[in-house]
A and B are shown apart, each in its own frame.
Chain A
Amino acid sequence: MLSLCFLPARAAVPSARLVCVRAASGQPAAGRTDDPQFRPLDIGRRREVVQQARERRRATLPPPRHERQPVNQQWGDVWPAPRTFHPDAVPLPLRQGFVKRPNAQAPPGKHANAELMKIANFLHLTPPVIERQCRALAKFCTPWPEGLTDERLDELRPLEVITQDFLHASPTLRHPDARVVSLKVPLSCLDLTETDRDKLLRLVGDRHDPKTDVITLTADRCPLRRQNRDYALYLLTVLYFESCKREPWEAELRTVADAEKFVWAGSASEAAVAPLGAAADVVNSYGEAVTRLHNEGEDESTLAEYRKAVVALLGLPEHVGAN
């Protein structure tokens, strides 16, 4: 009980039973007289000893490079080529990784972060570096021709060949999807009559985009890109020449049901309204309404237009065609 009175303020006494004073190394506890009868009992590794050893070790290491880099340094000189991410060289406080409780935990920092090391970084391609490289390459370039605008390019070079290249980590260099070649051609650049165009559209099906009037041919049946490109060009050639051909039976066997669009002139609808003897403009507007209904599809708006036209044609009260 006597010893308890002389305990220094900072010393921790876990329980009344354990009388163990953690004193600073090498010195007796402050306020404690050197009593040869009662030597201090040290159990376990002393925390202060460990900490001091660590600090000494740290002091011998130089500070990390990102603390020593000047603010106006040339980054292109620091990171000249593609390199695995190195935390001490990059002066950015990056964090990456998965945490179970994102509201309570911060993602792991950049030191010893395998995720950051695994991914490709493009620190060697910052805009100033790219600019410098472009300036260096400029002496090998000629100026862009003045009259060669985008519209002119579309006229001169309407064919677009689309290929994809892949970066991937794999035992082989080849990527199976890199062989796929797409060809985009606007139909306006092909010399086609109405029937030629109709035939081509039937052959091509939904490869034609009606909004942009472009057909897209995709070839992937050959193992090499060059072969697929040649095949796609061959396909385009065949399509064009086939659509220009005419079979002898086409003229004979083609019926109204085969027509891709409804044409008013000479149709059964025109013959049906002829006996009514209505005025020409009324019949014309009826013809337009019927054409719209058949070609644009039937919905309430085309039906309403048809109703109005019929009411005018048959001479009925106007309010019947109004709703």
Chain B
Amino acid sequence: MGVTSLSSTGSCKIQLGATCNCSHACVLIQGEITLQFFQMAQQTSAWRRYMQAFISGFFVAVPVTVTLLDKLAYVARVEGASMQPFLNPDVGAQCDVVLLNRWSVKNYHVQRGDIVSVVSPRNPKQKIIKRVIGLEGDFIRTLGYKNQYVRVPDGHFWIEGDHHGHSLDSNSFGPVSVGLLHGRASHIIWPPNRWQHIKPSLLPNRELLYTEEDGE
């Protein structure tokens, strides 16, 4: 009702309150009740629109994802037996997957007993996941290091795997520089029956001898 004319680029004039039932893509020009439509070759417009949407989405999605992975959180699979029995308790079963929190380590603040992931001092392409035993200024008793008692130097910390003997950690290569800290494991997220929040805790035989921290 009320549609009076159709053309390849033209306008449908409709009455106030009516709807235009034509099959073209109509655009309401502001203030006018007239609907104008443009006939384009359907195939190239769909392809170009898809490519433009893909490229603009790509340039938004990739930097945002990369920034989120670098700054906020990271998911990683734990391989190996060096943190048994806490992580990967069953050798035959699937490996644990942990959530690494990168936001909490941006100022390099860690606690004793945290499980952290660190760039390996032996192989910079690899990350190792261990527990923090001592921070700078602490005196600790080592298990298998060249000196039996060590004072952790400034800007370093001492990491160990829970499974002594099956772990490449500070007992092999000494105190690790805090600048190599990568992330703190905050949750185990796979397998689902091992879903838990990881709290900082020290094994009973790995306590400090003495610490230089204020107030202790």
Are A and B a genuine interacting pair, yes or no?
Answer: no
Q: Which residues from chain B sit less than 8 Å from chain A, CB to CB?
A: none
